[in-house]
Amino acid sequence: MIHDRPEDIRIEKNLFIPLSDGVSLAADLYAPHGEGPFPTLISYYPYHKDDLIGAMLEYPRRYFAAHGYAHLLVDLRGLGNSAGVAWETLDAREAEDGAEIVEWAARQTWCDGNVGMWGLSYGGVTTLQTASRRPPHLKAIVPIETLTDIYHELLCRFDCLPWYGNWGTWMVGMNLMPPGYQDAQGRWYEVWKERLETGYPHIFAAHDRPTFEEYWQSRVIPVENITVPTFLIGGWRDVLPDSMFKIYEAISAPKKLVMGPWTHILPDLYPFEPWDYLHEMKRWWDYWLKGEQNEVLDEPPVTLFVQGRNTWRHERDWPIQRSGERRLSLSDGRTLTHGTPQQEGSDPYRANPTVGAMAGLFDGVGLGIGTPLDQGPDDLQSLAYTTEPLAEDVEVTGVPEAVLSVALESGDDVNLVVKLNDVGPDGSSTLITLGSIKGSTYFSDEHPAPLKTGQVYQFRIPLFNTSYQVPKGHRLRVSVSCSDFPRLWPTPTNPEIRLFFGGSHDSTLRLPVVPPAADPVPEPEIRRPDPTVNRVPLATEGAPRWKIEQDLIAGKLAVTTGARQHMTIPSGGKMLIDTTITASVSADRPDNAKLEGQGVVRLELPATGLVEVESQTLLTRTRMLLAGKVTVNGQLFFEKRWQR
């Protein structure tokens, strides 16, 4: 039961956390009524405690305060109501600030010295960053759908200006907004002015530093340094499922992992298989921060949702020890068979940069949409190799890998994209998982080099971690193309490749196949959110966007996403966020691929009245144009353009 009466929850706005370099970070405290002390939870974000992230986390903060925890929501340096100049995205120094936040909280009279951290996405990054610094009073963490290595887990794997551009466009507007909590002394105005003068678009780093240089190396979080108990929550249809397993395997402390079918959104808000993650987090905190002897460590450490079968299962270990490998070979006649074909064959393919939209959005800004569609249209424009109907159920859990023998016959570079699909008796094609690699990184991420035309290379392409049961009578399909638009930026020209199979140039799919456990553990109890409770009480109206358009005459594909969201903000005003991002490409002109973004953030605040922030973005492979404009009560207040 969440109590909303003022006497049940104590709220303190805009507490200042002094850092050792003189900068003060701003935080809001939600705590049980009374002096405490209480175990304390911290979330640390770039998305403004006084408006967006504050509104989205209103329910969780009240939930934890009602269950005996103080909860501190902190703005990153140079963002929201925090002073200073913001670090560039995922700067390692965020960890130093995070460690100081933990130790400051532990010294407060309302804290009993037991501190936990948690967060989704960027909030998960700051949680891991901070934990890797080992502040003494941090006792346990819960990172949700997050990453540790932005270059390899996002930028390199997808060459993903479209994905990063979506988030970067959104952040242009966010970083121009005034603080939502406006103190009578006018501190908020000084903070805002400094931000407008020194602000720098986050997205430029992806353009300026395309290889794995020191800049990106410094942003790899040393998760192996984490020694506190860690509860990881991830989603199979998120852009970051591999990251969650990488973290799980690297940490030697007590740990748990839950993987559900979710996209990049809090699990209780997803329309399919919603899960009451707050209840499970509370059990975690109760054990590690309050010392309650519940059963949280008696349960198997890994909990998976098996797609296809659509059931939940516990596992005692990861990787799953009883897993075996099944090897299938690409073969003549576009078939996928057991054993290596004796006779060598090959299939030619010319890249089509419009392939990929059916694979879903890989939503990076928490819209809760974009799950994969029927892959049939993309399969028809790819090299698709299919098995005979399966004689038994086959569960694929782990990391499938494609090993492809490919020659580049023409073109400057090539993206190789592999999808693993479940083909039903009716011909429907369901995406199980996918993976990709850029040809020029065959030898090195740090020093990309062109491939030699006509030479056969053997590419090892890991697909995303998955858990999916293909039913008896269905078929498996490997679909190979050179495009995954709009997640993957196309090469400047449409390459022609030749895919070899059989003989000395075998091309194979290696599947981690998991049989039923000989000694199965009891099925997990999955707690659903109470449908009568509004878990986003400050969101008054919302409408996500997702549109796929094909111009059949021009051979053009356009994918549009975004959202229009109204909300009441914790500081007492109202907020509208309206963003539209369109990625487009022409079949015969991949060099003209572009991403266009428009955004409006409208804030109605007691002190300033109506503040409107407009942002525009145009991204191509070679150019970035960004613009921001701020008006206050209809009068121009600030305007700036940036370009690369």
Q: What is the pLDDT of residues 507-558, one digit of tens each?
A: 999 999 999 999 989 999 999 999 999 999 998 888 889 999 999 999 999 9
CB neighbour class for 567 (10 Å; exposed up to 12, middle 13-18, buried from 19): buried
pLDDT of residue 159: 62
Q: Is the pLDDT of residue 59 over 50?
A: yes
Domain ranges of the chain: 324-513, 539-643
Give mean pLDDT, residues 498-506: 94
Q: What is the mean pLDDT of residues 36-57?
A: 96
Q: Which residues pair with 642 in a beta bridge?
A: 626
What is the reported pTM?
Answer: 0.96
pLDDT digits (tens, 9 = 90+) for 410-453: 999 999 999 999 999 999 999 999 999 999 989 887 888 999 99
In the DSSP assignment, the letter for residue 307 is B
Q: Determine the pLDDT at residue 35.
A: 81
Helix (H, G, I), strand (E, B) or coil at 187: helix
CA 410 to mean position of chain CA atoms: 34
Span 61-68, average pLDDT: 97
Among the ranges given (184-193, 292-301, 496-505, 538-547), the one the predictor scored with the smallest mean pLDDT: 538-547
Q: Does the pLDDT value for residue 7 go beyond 80?
A: no
pLDDT, tens digit (0-9, with 9 covering 90-100), for 347-367: 999 999 999 999 998 776 677
> Is pLDDT of 283 > 90?
yes
The string of pLDDT tens digits covering residues 398-407 is: 999 999 999 9
Tell me: pLDDT of 206 over 80: no
Q: Does domain 324-513 have CATH number 2.60.120.260?
A: yes
Query: Three-state SS for 208?
Result: helix
Q: How many residues does the chain have?
A: 644
Q: What is the pLDDT of residue 153?
A: 87
- CA dist 52 and 61 (Å) reads 14
User: Which residues have CB under 8 Å from 601's CB, separation 6+?
Assistant: 173, 174, 177, 575, 576, 577, 578, 612, 613, 615
Q: pLDDT above 90 covers what percent of the chain?
A: 80
pLDDT beyond 50 at 1: no
The Cα 268–Cα 136 span in angstroms is 32
Q: What pairing do the DSSP bridges indicate for beta strands 302-306 and 255-260?
A: parallel
Would the CA dihedral through 333, 465, 326, 501 be positive or negative? positive
Distances (CA, A) of 150 to 411, 483, 521: 28, 21, 36
User: pLDDT band for position 273 (50/70/90)?
Assistant: very high
For 428, the 3-state DSSP assignment is coil
Kindly tell me if the per-residue pLDDT of 3 is higher than 80.
Answer: no
